[in-house]
Structures are given as structure tokens and as C-alpha cells.
Structure 1
Amino acid sequence: MTSKKLYFKGSGGNRLSALLDLPADSRPEAFALFAHCFTCTKNLKSANYISRALTRERVAVLRFDFTGLGESEGDFADTNFSTNVADLVAAANFLKTGYEAPKILIGHSLGGAAVLKAAGQISSSKAVAVIGAPADTVHLMRHFEKHQETIAKDGEAEIAIEGRPFRIKKQFLDDLGAAQIEEAVRNLRKALLVFHSPMDNTVGIDNAARLFQYARHPKSFISLDQ
């Protein structure tokens, strides 16, 4: 696998940092777009493993940092689920213009929910794969329960996520609460592959069952051992 460092304009006009992973010794037969998890980055180990596996099968992968995360510009506090979806659409348009429109969309955790929402706006996509993705946003809202009063009073609060501080604004929670993931999956009309571990303590396995139930065929489920 060879990787190219790239930049493109995100939904809000900020410069987003990306890696385009390409097959080492052949032209790609297709392009995929990868969305990382909540507050993660494109450099996540699992993203690298996925890219390596796909490039061996001659599938190029574009992975990028959402606005305000990693090496991308922007203020995370001003982003939300909807801006993540819009960043994905911008990334797909970037691929379409400079390389080839993505046929495969892949998302991890909340990134999985984002690709499910974005898929309807990315006409080139033929298949969607989600890993540990939520069927709704309730599990994520629980992270902010003890800060609800502060957010309601001050409009924002600093919250530690995986040991790192993030400013979360009321607009983020309002937007997250309005996400219609079930509706997006029911209207997907693309092949869906759901990966999930029964041992996932962050996003329970019941989420995978619900996503699978909502989706039309063709669809498949693969249980992960960890």
C-alpha cells in the first residue's frame, strides 16, 4: 500500500487533511471512503488495517479527519453530526473530481451512522459497510447527561472524552437528537454490510440487529470476535 497526503475543502470551507491509500503495484478497480469514529482521526489503527486489506484487493481508500479533528482545520465545538455528513459528501465530490467517485462507503461507530446518512447524497456509492455503528444517537447522548445542566445554562461545557477535553455546545446535542438514522437505513437502497462485536460495551450488539432489520436486501451481518 502507498499513501498520499491530500487536502480538500470541507463542508464549512475549512481545509481537511486526508490520506489516499492506493494499491502498491496496480491501478485501483474502485474507490472507497472511510469515516472515523467520534473524536477519532484518520490515523486510527483500525482505519489503517482496513485500508491495507482493501488495497490488497485493488480498492483505494480515502480517509480524512472531520472538521476540527486531527490535522484538519476548524473548531470542533462548532461541528455536529450534520457537518460530519456534509464533510463526507465533500470528500466524495473531491474524489469524483480528482480521481474517481467512491463506490464503497465505510464508517466506524458514529462514522458508520454518518455514512448511512450521507449515502443518499453520494449517488456513486453502491455499497455501505458499518463497524460498531449505532442505530440511533441515544448511546452517545448518555456521555453528556451529567453536563446537561451546564450546557443548558451556559450553552456549552468542556467534557473529557477518552481522557481528552472537548467543548460540546448545545447545538451539537440538538443536532444529534434530530438525527434520523432509522429513516436513512430504511431508504438506503444500497447493499449493506454490518460488522459488530457482541462484546462491544460502547455500542451494544442490539444496534446491529436493528440496523439489519431496518435495511432492505441485499444486506449481510458479520459478528466480530473483539
Structure 2
Amino acid sequence: MPTENLTIATDAGHDLAGSLELPTGLVRGAALFAHCFTCTKASKAAVAITRALAREGIACLRFDFTGLGGSGGEFGRAGFATDVADLVAAAEYLADRFGQKILLVGHSLGGAAVLAAADDLGFDRIAAIATIGAPSDVPHVLERIDGDLAAIRESGSGPVSIGGRDFELSREFLERLETIDLLAEVERLRVPLLLLHSPTDALVGIENAGLLFKAARHPKSFVSLAGADHLLLDDRDADFAANVIAGWATRYLPMRDDWPMPEDGVVVKSGHGRFGTEVHTASHRFVADEPRSYGGDDAGPTPYDLLLAALGTCTAMTMRIYADRRGWPLEGTTIHLTHERNHEEDCEHVLDGEEGQIQALTRRIELEGDLSGEQRARIVEIAGKCPVHRTLEGHLHIHTTTAG
């Protein structure tokens, strides 16, 4: 999937560094991901979840909070209120760019931040909110700070260590953390909420999820990340959380109305990848692409895969109809198809205006069931009469017109 690096201006005068994960095909919605305390947009959870959402057609922005990663500003003087302001700025960028309600996703303190930011952003601009390992009590973060906090309150600033990293914190940073009533913020929510939390989370206990869930209004959901650690360091845990959020989010980010299904034929629309293309039929949508070895994102079958699939599926269906009409015990079919060609050379020939090479499709058919030799021979013979086979071997003309 293509990743667009961008910057977002803040009212404080500095820029936030962001990475927008775009679907290979078209965009059905947009989401914003807030990373955990002192993490960055490059955290395992941030990357896994934003890319999983992109695979579902949801453009997802992950960004660095003030003073972290590639973002400007001073982390030690920012505090929770600044995180909320950062989220509002990033969310407004997404809402303006894509022109629709967005999904907010937050991990750990980032989860608390998206809950607190919802009211400031406006419920009418939010489709839904999902959190992972979010605390119900924001000041509890102070317990994770290794340093003399009393001295910081007395002198105005001082050094601390958070997760093995050194920072200079201000008195304002601490005060902003201590004044947040997150449960009151959750009680005011008027959007769908999904809480994901591990019962074995050693940093933010599972009781936090219980308090948040109790405070929230319906529709609300809870998913247990059993066995996962707080940071989702295991790829399987990160992928599971990502897929759950992506699946849940599609309920609240429905397919856009400006992508009507064609009444007949197929409509193809270019997407965001180099080759990624949306295919729209009267009742289905999917992405076609090229493999990474040819410069694509490998997000879907290639055009030649689809060609072979058309012949193979039509062959299987035709043989099934023929056997069923005669009451023959055909239990199943397996068809292996290949295309003999040099794809890159073919493309170069077309671009140079030269005639294409003579190509061949090879089809190997396996029939399952207690069929006689004569029945097998007749079924294989009928395979050559399937409609797609006849189209490919017939006198096919392609007529091209332009619109607009």
C-alpha cells in the first residue's frame, strides 16, 4: 500500500509529522491513529493497525505527537492538553481532505487522548472511536515516570526517565495530566465506541476497560486481547487488534454513495498505488494489482490472473451444469491454468506499438467422482465449449470510446 508522508500545522506554530496509509484501491473512509505515551507513529501497533485499515479501503493517518519522532515542539512542556490539540488538528485535516466523518483510534494514552478530543472535534465529524489498552484515569501515567516529580513541581522543571528514555518535564506538563476527568469525557460521547484491552496488561490494568465501558453509552463493544502485552509487541496480537478494528469500523464507514454499482458490465477505477485498480461489478468490488517484483503492491490478483480465473471459473461452471443435467456423479473439479508469456516484454511491445507475441493458455483439468471413462472424456470435451473459452478463441473485437 502507498504511504504518503505529510506535515500538519498546529496553532502552537510547529508542524506534526504524519504518515498517511492509503488503500491500493479507492478510499471508502478515513481514520486517525494516536500512538501510546512517548511512542511514535513508527510503533508496531501504529503501523499494523493503520495498514490493516488501509487494506479495508480506509485511509489512515498516524502521526507523532508534539516533541516526539519527527514532530516539532517541546514534549516536556506539552502535556495531555497539547496531545488533544494535536489530535484535533490532525482530525480536521483528514475530515477536510476526505469530506466525511472519520474513525478515531488510540493506543494507551493515545486512546485516552482520542476520547478526550472527541468533544473538541465535534461528534458530527466522528464516525466511531476505538481504543487499545486505554487508561480510565489519565493521571495514572505519572506512575510510569521515573523522576522527582515533587522537585519538578517546586522548581518548575526537571529531568525524568520514561520507558528508558530521558526527558525534561515541566510543572505545566504534570498539572495538565492531573486535571483530566476522562470518565466524564466518556459519559459525554455520542459516537460508537470499541474498547480493546488485555486482561494480562501489566501497565494499564483490565479494570480500566471496565470503568470506561460502564461510563460509555451504547453502541459500545469490548474485545479481550487475551495474552497480549500492553504494547502489542507480538505481531500476532497487533494483527489481531488491527483486523478486529478494521472489521468493526466498516459498519460505521459504509461504502460511499458516489461509487454506484454498474447496472451491467464492469467499471474499473484507478486507485492510489502505482497499479492498484478497483474493479466494480453489479454486486461486487475488489482490487486488481501487480506483484511487488513488477512495481505493484500485490494487493490483489493481476490482470492475467483475472483472465485465467475467468476461463477457469467458466470452465468449472459449464462442466458442473453439463454433469448435473445428466445426473452424472461429478463431485468436484480442480483446474490449474497458466499463461505462457513474458509479461514485461508484452507491455514493452504494446508501448512501442508493436504486435504482441503469440501466447497460449494451458488448462489442466482434474475431475472428482465415480465417473466412467466415457463420462470423463465427454465432460472434458464440453469444457472447450464454455462461453469464456469461445470468446477467447473467437473473433473478438474491442471497441474503445472516450467520455468527457
Question: How big is the shift at 1:121?
Answer: 2.4
Question: Take 1:126 and 1:110, find their aligned partners in 2: how far apart are those partners?
Answer: 21
Partners of 1:16 and 1:64 within 8 A in 2: yes
Q: Give, in whole Å, the separation in 2 of the partners of 1:160 and 1:199.
A: 24
Equivalent residue runs for 1:1-226 within 5 Å = 1-24=1-24, 26-122=25-121, 123-144=124-145, 147-225=148-226, 226=228
Shift of 1:200: 0.6
Measured at CA, do residues 14 and 102 of structure 1 come closer, stay the same or move farther in structure 2, by a change above 3 Å? farther
Task: Give the TM-score, by structure 2 length.
Answer: 0.54
Conserved? CA contact 2:29–2:98, under 8 Å = no
CA distance in 1, matches of 2:8, 2:101: 15
Once structures 1 and 2 are overlaid, which stretch shifts more, 2-11 or 198-207? 2-11
> Which structure 1 segments of 5+ residues have no match?
none
SS of structure 2 residue aligned to 1:184: helix
2:201 aligned counterpart, secondary structure: coil
What secondary structure does 2:126 align onto? coil
- Higher mean Cα deviation, 71-80 or 149-158? 149-158
CA shift in 2, pair 1:146/1:19, >3 Å: closer
* Root-mean-square deviation (Å): 1.4
Equivalent-residue separation in structure 2 for 1:97 and 1:138 (angstroms) = 33
Q: Gaps (5+ residues) in structure 2? A: 229-404
- Per-residue CA deviations over 1:124-151 (Å, capped at 9, x if unaligned) read 1121000000001242122347512211
Bigger mean CA deviation after superposition, 136-145 or 192-201: 136-145
Higher mean C-alpha displacement, 56-65 vs 118-127:
118-127
Shift of 1:51: 1.3
Deviation at 1:92, TM superposition (A): 1.3
Q: Which has the larger radius of gyration?
A: 2
**Which structure carries more relative contact order (alpha carbon 8 Å, separation 6+)?**
1
Secondary structure at the counterpart of residue 38 of structure 1:
coil
Q: 1:31·1:100 contact (CA, 8 Å) conserved in 2? A: no
The answer to whether the 8 Å contact 1:6/1:20 transfers is yes
Aligned identity (percent) is 47
Amino acid corresponding to residue 112 of structure 2 in structure 1: A
TM-score, normalising length from structure 1?
0.95
Paired residue total: 225
How far apart, in 2, do the equivalents of 1:101 and 1:13 lie? 27
Mapped partners of 1:67, 1:189: distance in 2? 28
How far apart, CA to CA, are the structure 1 residues paired with 2:112 and 2:148? 24
The AA in structure 1 aligned to 2:9 is K
Q: Quote the offset at 1:98 in angstroms.
A: 2.9
